[in-house]
Structure 1
Amino acid sequence: MNWGYRIMLIIGLFLAMLFYFVYIASQQKNELMDSNYYKEEIEFQQKIDASNRLNQIYNKPLISQEQGNVNIRIPTQLAHHLKDGKIELIHYNDHEADLHLTFEPDSSGAQVFPSLLFKTKGQYKCRIQWRDDSGKYYREEDLQL
């Protein structure tokens, strides 16, 4: 085989590989975790203050997994005075698997979510926020299902 054909073959293989990688890259989903990113950024200092308020009272993880269920437990002294709260479970790779739930713990401060609630397994960022008479509380934790 002539060296000119070899060079053409190498260039052709390189171009085929390049087009293959471009095709694979175009099929990937690249979504922002928040659709309202700029609004969240403006309110970020309030989240820091709420997180610091919670860390002064309770510095342990709020989320645990037992028997296939996701358990969220806050201190009982905070659960008795809770006015309203919400939980956002943001899936890292699939925006359609995100969950936005109301946080309504029982008198012991616990709320249980069955695993059937989660459509997609994988890595989630769990954002828990609630307020009571003394102020707002906030915590972010990672959750692997």
Structure 2
Amino acid sequence: MNWGHKIIIVFVVFAIGILTLVTKSMRTKTDMVTKDYYAEELKYQQVLDGKRNAGTLSSPVQISQQSEGIAVTFPQELHGTGITGKIKFYRPSDAGMDVEMPLHLSSDGMLVINRQLFHKGNYLVKVQWENGGKPFYQEESFHIN
């Protein structure tokens, strides 16, 4: 085999390699943190204010696993105060596993979420609420067994 054939073989193998990489990259699933990223970025000052306000509470919002589900417990001073807001369990590995719901607390400041809504793994829990016209925000990593 002469050198001309070897050069053609190298170019063909290179082209096949490039086409393989392009095909794989086109099929790779990429989930954005949020679909409307720019609008969320403009609202980030509310998140900063919410974190500051949440830091003034006697204790942070507690998230725990119980046999009946995931329990979210608010500090004592917020019990029965008419909290409005939402909680989001963000799954970084797959946006299809995210769980978001409004806050409907019991009289003792607790919300229990059915365990069947979740898959085992790591979540970033984002709790955003308003009380007395003040925004509050807390986020923490949480592992569901």
TM-score grouping bracket, smaller chain normalisation: 0.7 to 0.9
Mapping of residues 32-111 of structure 1, within 5 Å:
32-58=32-58, 60=60, 62-67=62-67, 69-111=69-111
Indicate the RMSD between aligned Cα atoms, in angstroms.
2.7
User: How many residues were matched structurally?
Assistant: 144
Provide the identity percentage. 26
Match of 1:143 in 2: 142
Stretch deviating more after TM superposition (92-101 or 21-30): 92-101
Distance of 1:26 and 1:144 partners within structure 2: 31
Distance of 2:62 and 2:7 partners within structure 1: 61
Deviation of the 1:61 alpha carbon: 6.2
SS for the counterpart of 2:71 is: strand
Distance of 1:11 and 1:74 partners within structure 2: 64
Q: Contact (CA 8 Å) 2:69, 2:112: kept in 1 or not?
A: yes
Deviation of the 1:107 alpha carbon: 3.1
Match of 1:117 in 2: 117
Q: TM-score, normalised by structure 1?
A: 0.77
Give the unaligned 5+ runs of structure 2: none
Q: TM-score, normalised by structure 2?
A: 0.77
AA aligned to 1:11 is: F
Q: Deviations over 1:1-23 (max 9, x none)?
A: 55554444343333322222211
Q: Contact (CA 8 Å) 1:123, 1:142: kept in 2 or not?
A: yes
AA aligned to 2:127 is: I
Stretch deviating more after TM superposition (14-23 or 91-100): 91-100
Q: Classify 1:12/1:125 alpha carbon distance in 2 versus 1 (closer, same or farther; 3 Å).
A: same
Q: Deviations over 1:117-138 (max 9, x none)?
A: 13x5544332211122262211
SS for the counterpart of 2:31 is: coil
Give the unaligned 5+ runs of structure 1: none
Distance of 1:106 and 1:89 partners within structure 2: 20
Q: Contact (CA 8 Å) 2:54, 2:60: kept in 1 or not?
A: no
Q: Deviations over 1:56-81 (max 9, x none)?
A: 22565632334483222221211321
Stretch deviating more after TM superposition (88-97 or 101-110): 88-97
Stretch deviating more after TM superposition (60-69 or 31-40): 60-69
- For the pair 1:128 / 2:127, whether they are aligned, the reply is yes
